[in-house]
Structure 1
């Protein structure tokens, strides 16, 4: 997808502060962080929303969760705690239409989803 921001980041066409990369995914710091740690975990495969995932994507979705675990451990927030968020469509807060996970942490997180 030539016009998708996250596809461009995954293909290294746009510079970001990358924190993780493998064949299936990339992870980078959010440019507008909502917590001291705010990392976006993005599959290289373009899926506009979580609603576009099918049974054929089950391994990829599991992989994204395992990447989140790995990153949380590597940056030292795993034991203290962290939050994973997937926004879906406009009322769900999705701004970039390429599936991505928000890894948030680095401070106590209150529950204020709306």
Structure 2
């Protein structure tokens, strides 16, 4: 059920302290931690503590928490000194878009040129 911890979800296990992660920031509603397979010099994931399968379901069910995720993404960028040079916030939704963990999360990427389109 959305909002409830899922026993098979990697990010729920990180929230519950069952799986280690390199934490960058933590709030009452969010966690931010370094991606284990970084795609840029700075690659931090910002997740809601509550389980929602993707960003759209999070925004529909808990818009204030979705706003918290975006706010924390900006704070991560500032902490990582990316705010002056530019950074990207990415939400992948669905396997076809590259989502591999089905718990809503924002990727904060920076520290190198991020021309669009990627790849």
**Alpha-carbon distance in structure 2 between the residues aligned to 1:46 and 1:15:** 18
Alignment gaps of 5+ in structure 2: 1-5
Partner of 1:18: 23
Match of 2:79 in 1: 74
The 5 A counterparts of 1:11-90 are 11-90=16-95
Q: Distance in 2 between matches of 1:37 and 1:92?
A: 21
Q: Give the aligned CA root-mean-square deviation in angstroms.
A: 1.3
Q: Does 1:106 align with 2:111?
A: yes
Give a deviation string over 1:49-103, Cα, whole Å, max 9, x none. 1232354411111111110111111111111100000000111110000000000
Q: Matched residue pairs, number? A: 114
Q: Are the aligned partners of 2:58 and 2:65 in contact in 1 as well (CA < 8 Å)?
A: no
Structure 2 length-normalised TM: 0.90
Equivalent-residue separation in structure 2 for 1:51 and 1:72 (angstroms)? 22
- If the length of structure 1 is used for normalisation, what is the TM-score? 0.93
**Structure 1 gap segments, 5+ residues each:** none
Q: Residues 54 and 22 of structure 1: is their aligned pair in 2 closer, same or farther, counting only changes over 3 Å?
A: closer
